[in-house]
A and B are shown apart, each in its own frame.
Chain A
Amino acid sequence: MSNAEKENNHSGLDGIIEQTGIDIKDGRYPLAITNNPELYQLELRRIFGRAWVYLGHISEFEEPGDYARRYIGEDPFILTRDENGELHAFLDSCMHRGAQFCTAENGNTSHFRCPYHGWTYKNDGTLQGMPHMSEAYQDLDADEITLEEACLETYQGLVFGRIAEEGPSLEAYLGDFTWYLDVLFGATEAGMTVIGEPHRWESSHDWKTSADNFSGDSYHVLTTHQAGLETENLSKGPWEELNDFPAASYLACTDRHSMGYYLSKDEETFMGYPEEISEYLNPTLSAEQRELFGRSVFHFGTVFPNMSLIHGIQSGGWGGPWACIRKWNPRGPGTTETTSWWLVPKEFADDESFLSDSHRGWESLSPGGAFESDDLTIWEGISDSSGAVTHELRNTRGNMQQGMGAMTDEVDTIEDSLHGPAEVTSKGLYFDERNSRTILQSWYEMMSDSPEMEGEP
């Protein structure tokens, strides 16, 4: 490819990105942005190279030496706690010739030894030594050799990493969404803990599709999950109290992230947790956060770009309550590896009967689950057809116009501190697609190289 062609190609990509920015204002978007190999390469750089990306939960790294292989975009990092208790995320690439030195998913080690020439690093990333160090490296400043390390920050036990050395703090990046993360991951005094190993599976769908779905799309449940919802023979728990749903459904969007939730009128619902939960509540919750948690049935949302969450009791009586963190790992254009961790409040981590129910809730969204298994079939189809030349040549637009202009008189904006600092709409989960527009707007802002990302404190 000549330089001129490369330039054209690049401006074509920037063209579709700019088109997306214009289209969102009208609740539309070019379908061709899903599963586009060239755009994907830009996403890895402009989004995954600069955003705070979820890497793990602190409960997975309690002892010095605990490590797990985790990804930012497609880059393999090793998240570990060093001997002094500090968390680090190192790129799995030796500073000698770039060989990988970590092939297990997780474990515990004080050192990483490269299998190529034996360069060895402490788990704080510094060079410990290598074979024939005193003969072959007499003039080497060993202190200057440290593993490439991602920036790390933690909020409510959630560890995020960033490749770019400059950018907003994690709290600034999360913005008003922290208020909801307090409720979802900090509701009890001891906090949440990850149980066991995560579900992992790879499928032919674009990471944006699942990030969008989890940001607050209950509209799809009516059609996609009809089979799961119609399973009548299992008890339905707190869902039965939602006589007036979809009225009990809410959509909360901040400037970058989005979530949806269902509330019961009963302030002691607590997502169906055992009643002891009221004794474990975190005193740092505000009165509004406590009431929101008390009335909660089910929450789900997306922290842009590729972390999603669920916390609540599963619909249709398929078990629960449970919490889950999802990561949509990009694995190539139109390919995503989903990782799904199961979390429970630490206070219940030894309660076998609770764990059995909670596992069933989490499992209902496993690749074998009664719900997720249907999603994946549909998401793969989106990816397949979104690569169509027809979309590119005809500039086909998808639609996310629910809740705009005169589309509906059902949705009300709620001004009530119970719902926190985000912009919240009632019945938003069924008649308002602000969630999709919010996530796509985040995509647009990072893809269009907005200076905002770099300038924030």
Chain B
Amino acid sequence: MSSLPVSKDETPVDVETQHSVEQFLFREADLLDEFALEEWLRLLDDDILLEVPIRVARHPGSERPEFSDETNYLREDYEMIRERVGRLEKEYAWSENPRSRIRHVIGNVRVIESTETELTVANNQHVFRSYGDTADHDLLSAKRHTVLRRPDTNGDGFSIGHRTVYLDHTILNTKNLTLPLL
């Protein structure tokens, strides 16, 4: 995707749907912050694609895309995500041993597309990260587009069918980009 879709003026969902979408994203963020990644995995559909495209500093009017349509920091299917979750649980996955102190603050939640089976949800987020014996922290800013699949008649909640994380950084300001930071 070369640029973010144009925002729509009206939210095409009722208040109850808006509320349940927000609650889902808030709960999901808690799971990431707490490194409850096995539980987080259960929210993902088998055919999920998680993408974090590279952002480029551009002159206004450039014909080249601001978000690369060819290269990503991450472009993961379910199997790769599961492998990463398993990897992070190993004692010697030094990237998160000790665990980063992570806090998602999620806002500007809007449903930008709605069908009978799916909602596409945009949200902004600031993710605080502190690591090790230091007063320092990194702050990652991003906009996410998430496709939430509506529950079938027996299910409750949503499942995640697709997610793109549009970073506000053209040069990342943190040493690595582990799953809980997204």
Contacts and interface: CB of A to CB of B under 8 A. Distances in A.
Interface of A: 103-108, 195-204, 223-224, 226-228, 230-231, 233-234, 337, 342, 359-360, 363, 366-368, 370, 372-374, 376-378, 380
A197 B58 CA distance: 12
Contact of B170 (A200, A203, A342): A200
Interface in B47-70: 52, 54, 56-59, 62-64, 68-70
B13 interface: no
Given A104-B58, A368-B178, A373 B171 contact: no
Nearest to B52: A368
B87 A367 contact: no
A368 B74 contact: yes
13 contacts: A105-B170, A196-B71, A197-B68, A198-B54, A198-B71, A200-B171, A201-B172, A359-B71, A366-B74, A367-B175, A370-B84, A370-B87, A374-B95
A108 to B, nearest CB: 8
Interface string B75-107: 100011001101110101111000000000000
Nearest to B65: A197
B139 to A, nearest CB: 13
Given A201-B176, A227-B94, 11 more contacts: A196-B54, A197-B71, A227-B92, A228-B87, A233-B83, A234-B79, A360-B80, A367-B174, A368-B74, A370-B84, A373-B95
Contact of B83 (A202, A234, A337, A373): A234
A226 B93 CA distance: 8
B177 interface: yes
Chain B's interface size range is 35 or more
Contacts of A201: 171-177
A233 B70 CA distance: 27
Interface of B: 52, 54, 56-59, 62-64, 68-75, 79-80, 83-84, 86-88, 90, 92-95, 131, 170-178
Contacts of B92: 223, 226-227
A231 B57 contact: no
Contacts of B57: 103-105
A231 B176 CA distance: 19
Contacts of A367: 73, 172, 174-177
Given A227-B87, A234-B83, A195 B70 contact: yes
